[in-house]
Amino acid sequence: MADPLVAVLNGPNLNLLGVREPSIYGRATLADIEALCRDRAARLGLALEFRQSNHEGVLIDWVQACRGRARGIVINPGGLTHTSVALLDALVATDLPVIEVHLSNIHRREPFRERSLTAKAATGVIAGLGAAGYGLALEAMAGLIAAATSETVSA
C-alpha cells in the first residue's frame, strides 16, 4: 500500500525565514524546514507534499485539494492564523486531522497574535519550538493516521 500523504502548508512571509527576524523565528530557512520534514516523513513512512504561498486563495485551493487525497494537514498559516475565516472554513471542510504549527510562541507576543482563528480546525497546536515543531507535528500526525487506520480496519 502507498504511504499515506500528509500536506505541510506554509502561509505568507514564511519564505523569508532565516533572512530576517532570527531572534523571533530562528535561523532555519524554509528549505531547511522542508529538508527536516522530508527526512522525518521518510522515517515515519509518510509521503509528503511541502508548499508555501503568500496568497490566501492559493492556500485555500491547496487545502481543498487535500480532500480525498491526503490523510492529514500540517499547517503554519503565518499571519492568516489571526485573520482568515476562509482558511478556517476550508480546513474544517476537509474533514482531515489538522495540526497547526507556529515557530514562535504566539501567546508570548503581541496581543493580536494570541488569537488563532484557524486553530478551531486543529486537533492540536504546536507553538514556540521553532523548526523542531514541524517534526513533532509529523510524528503526532503519523500517530493520528495510524489510530484512524486501525479504527477503520477493526470496524
Annotated active-site residue 134? The verdict is: no
Smallest distance, Å, CB 56 to ligand CA2?
13
CB contact at 8 A, 109 and 134: no
Instruction: Give the nearer residue to ligand CA2 in terms of CB position, either 20 or 69.
Output: 20
111 burial level (CB within 10 Å; 0-12, 13-18, 19+): exposed
Is 21 an interacting residue with respect to ligand CA2 (CB under 6 A)?
yes
Q: What burial letters (b/e) apply to 114-128, b meaning 16+ CB within 10 Å?
A: eebbbbebbeebbbe
Residue with cell 486563495: 57
Q: Considering only the stretches 16-24, 32-40, 54-62, 142-150, report the one whose residues sit in contact with ligand CA2 under the rule CB under 6 A.
A: 16-24
Q: Considering only the stretches 47-55, 76-84, 90-98, 141-149, report the one whose residues sit in contact with ligand CA2 under the rule CB under 6 A.
A: 76-84
Instruction: Give the nearer residue to ligand CA2 in terms of CB position, either 6 or 80.
Output: 80
144/155 Cα distance (integer angstroms):
17
Q: Considering only the stretches 19-27, 42-50, 86-94, 118-126, report the one whose residues sit in contact with ligand CA2 under the rule CB under 6 A.
A: 19-27
For 58, other C-beta atoms within 10 Å of its C-beta total 14
Is 17 an interacting residue with respect to ligand CA2 (CB under 6 A)?
yes
DSSP state, residue 20: S
137/43 Cα distance (integer angstroms):
14
Active site residues: 25, 102
Where along the sequence are the contacts to ligand CA2 (CB under 6 A)? 13-14, 16-17, 20-21, 25, 76, 78-79, 81, 102-104, 106, 113
